A and B are shown apart, each in its own frame.
Chain A
């Protein structure tokens, strides 16, 4: 269980994290979602006691992180897969971390096998791909068999097989009753991985919802209708309780009623309809809509973003 209360972090004049209150519960994969620069990494650093909050507090299993003794047994985290000494081997990296918390060499071999890095255990990590470094970071997080696991953008650099593996790993960890917090800036990835969502933008909490609820709310489809008498049709639809907005190409955008209702209503009033189709909003669009005014950096022209940083 991770609990944040009015958690706030200010860097100079910039509010990185602004009054966040949330709880991350055991037994679920919680997706920590937000555009780049939304404050996800800062929040995770505060959970780990690395950055001191400007205001508010955050606890793990009711304790301040700094008060924990050998916290690797309680919280395992992967913040940055590249945070390694390139000259050290994977085995030496994990051994140093393990020994600092009284964890023995057999557990080091165990986690290396679990993430599939046994064959390169004694290779220097300088030569590792980003995907291999992500696996090493996950191995480090698993070392102490902790009840709370946090991963910051763990999917970056993984190949499709790795992505499937990591999703299954998260499900298994949550299934074992652990608290799993996974950050991402990709809604589509979270929809497949998480069952609960914390959505933040510009450091503020936008939504704290189950994925099921988010999907159903995002699933509201809208109707695009083109007609020679769209004004009259719009009036009739409004009277019927639908929401109507002007759309592109002289169309009207109708929400709140089904296509059948629109068709029957038009036929009943002899209104010709040239085009009527249903448009489903994607999860990604729903996320974009939700965070549209909370994006820290926006490109001047609309370009699809594919990767972080």
Chain B
């Protein structure tokens, strides 16, 4: 049935020298970049984010401009020319968080993760490469959107001289923070995806954390409401973007620290379980 060969020859084409750490990291990043570019969900998430943010920005800004003269004084007093332009970010947040979940959960649900890990056995490095590539995409979309909607919104508001400039106090910080929030929410999604592996479970958990938890906390009696609430991601952003000083419970510096701690904690949790469980 078989012919006996004298000495089986080696057919292996190992790279002659082991690749450097930088080369290996670059290879993983390039691989994840191909993956994120080659699926439609990426483009859907971007499209939903852009459309929702721009449309709501324009509609709401125009509403204030056209109805300003007839608005009651109390509403005029509470008008926030900075926060008003970021109304569509809730939709963008949902879309980008779901994309973050899918970046890893789609590999688990299809079984592709086994192919990925049998090419790159260092699983934490794979997760970090995913986080870096997807995080960069989310951050760029977020910042482009927040700067774009700031200019657009302020251009409309300036029709009634309601607008502010990026050089006004707190404006630049608010615009940067709003954009950064898509990155934070997206990485929370990625971490949840690595933790739970199920797309539905991770998206539901992300919605619970980012959208429902603030409502539950908001229904608590004060002082708990603000003591707990001020640490929730959405409220950290409000504190950074609002021009209303009474809403600021934490200093901007602390807001940034807590905000950045969220993706780190979720990613660390995902990294902890990813190499401990069977793939």
Contact = CB atoms under 8 A, between A and B. Distances in A.
Q: Which of B12, B40, B106, B118 has the most CB of A within 10 A?
A: B118
B12 A49 contact: no
Interface in B98-117: 106-107, 110-112, 114-117
A48 interface: yes
Contacts of B70: none
A114 to B, nearest CB: 15
B1 A147 contact: no
Contacts of B118: 48-50, 65, 71-72, 75, 77, 79
B160 interface: no
Interface string A188-224: 0000000100000000000000111001000000000
Contact of A96 (B13, B38, B110, B279): B38
Interface in A106-161: 140, 144-147
B34 interface: yes
A95 interface: yes
Given A74-B14, A96-B31, A99-B34, A176 B9 contact: yes
Interface in A11-61: 25-28, 45, 48-52
A85 B115 contact: no
A126 B117 CA distance: 22
Interface residues of B, number: 43
18 contacts: A27-B5, A66-B121, A66-B122, A68-B121, A69-B24, A70-B27, A73-B13, A73-B15, A95-B34, A96-B32, A97-B119, A100-B30, A102-B23, A102-B27, A145-B11, A146-B12, A178-B11, A195-B1
A71 B12 contact: no
A87 B23 CA distance: 29
Nearest to A83: B111
A232 interface: no
B27 to A, nearest CB: 5
A80 interface: yes
Contacts of B119: 70-72, 97, 100-101
Contacts of B23: 102
A50 B28 contact: no
Interface of A: 25-28, 45, 48-52, 65-75, 77, 79-80, 82-89, 92-93, 95-97, 99-102, 140, 144-147, 173, 175-178, 195, 210-212, 215
Contacts of B19: 69-70, 102
A65 B28 CA distance: 18
A100 B27 contact: yes
Q: Is the interface of A mostly helix, strand, loop or mixed?
A: loop
B8 interface: yes
B34 A28 contact: no
Nearest to A191: B1
A198 B35 CA distance: 37
B113 to A, nearest CB: 8
Given A99-B27, A177-B8, A65 B121 contact: yes
Contacts of A49: 117-118, 121
B40 A87 contact: yes
B149 to A, nearest CB: 29
A145 B34 CA distance: 21
Given A70-B15, A178-B11, A82 B34 contact: no
Contacts of A173: 11
Interface string B240-257: 000000000000000000
Given A85-B106, A92-B34, A52 B9 contact: no
A87 B115 contact: no
Contacts of A147: 10-12
